[in-house]
Amino acid sequence: MNFRLKYLGIVLFGLTLPSMAGATSVADLERQIRASDQARLQMQQQLDLMNQDLNDLIGRLEVTNNAINDLQKNQQELFQQISDLTARINQLQSGGVKPASGQNSTGRDTGAKPDVREDKPKPSSPSTLTPNEKNDYQKAVTLVMQDKNYNAAIDAFNEFNKKYPDSSLISNANFWLGDSYYKTNRLTESKQCFLNVVKDENAVKRAEALYKLGLISVTENNKDYARKFFQLVVRDYSGTTTARLAENELKKLK
């Protein structure tokens, strides 16, 4: 900036030399110098205004980028809510509670491609659930989906797992427990819960658990693991909403 001003001043001064050379008096020379100074001052003011406009533009761009990021996060949450709402409607229409398989503890891919619609019930499972089991599970889910009381949901799902260790809803319970830990930024506990879901090749929420593990890996700055989890979602659950979200995350990692 200073270099440009100096250069501009030299140019302007050079332009005034011929007229100065022809000045008939000291007064004329002083007027011409003042005119040159005034021209440089106006040019400086214009440059200052341009810099201010540029800074304003950069500020608006940052605000826009932040707004776009917020919209992307809201869109992901909206996809989740729509999927969960569809699951509840399917559950009400079927007259039963959604089943899930037993708890496991590793994140190894199994290559299974279950139907990933939320909480799709299996024909034989509802009859194995006790009324208390159904009620406790629904109360815990309500704490997550409706109340957004994640700390209370953590307590409720931990209690459910203790009371019903052999429940067909264990994988689903582990997913919601992991999601509650995730939303309270307890990533270590969240990761373990999602890994428990992923090992169950028939888990209804396996795709979402893999996706969440990818997000956790991004937060932990472990891009290699994040890429692997997202790739598993895209490979095993192609065409689903979760797979599309994983594809978007993979693009960000490139």
In a domain, 56, yes or no: yes
In a domain, 77, yes or no: no
Q: Packing angle between helix 170-183 and helix 187-199, nearest 10 degrees?
A: 160
What pLDDT is recorded for position 218?
95
In a domain, 79, yes or no: no
What pLDDT is recorded for position 67?
53
What pLDDT is recorded for position 32?
80
Answer yes or no: do 128 and 238 share one domain: yes
In a domain, 89, yes or no: no
What pLDDT is recorded for position 28?
77
In sequence order, what DSSP letters do the residues of 97-133 get, joined into one string?
Answer: --------------------STTPPPTTSGGGS-HHH
In a domain, 74, yes or no: no
End-of-domain residue from the set 10, 42, 64: 64
Answer yes or no: do 169 and 54 share one domain: no
In a domain, 155, yes or no: yes
> pLDDT tens digits for the chain (254 residues)?
444 444 445 444 454 444 444 546 777 777 888 887 787 777 777 766 675 555 555 555 554 554 565 556 556 666 666 667 666 666 666 654 444 444 444 444 434 333 333 444 333 354 478 999 999 999 999 999 999 999 999 999 999 999 999 999 999 999 999 999 999 999 999 999 999 999 999 999 999 999 999 999 999 999 999 999 999 999 999 999 999 999 999 999 97
Residue 88 burial (C-beta neighbours within 10 Å; 0-12, 13-18, 19+): middle
Given a contact cutoff of 8 angstroms between Cβ atoms, the answer to whether 184 and 154 are in contact is: yes
The number of beta carbons lying within 10 Å of the beta carbon of residue 115 is 10
Note down the domain range covering 21: 2-64
In a domain, 73, yes or no: no
What pLDDT is recorded for position 24?
61
What pLDDT is recorded for position 124?
32
Answer yes or no: do 58 and 152 share one domain: no
53 residue type, one letter: D
Structural domains in the chain (count): 2
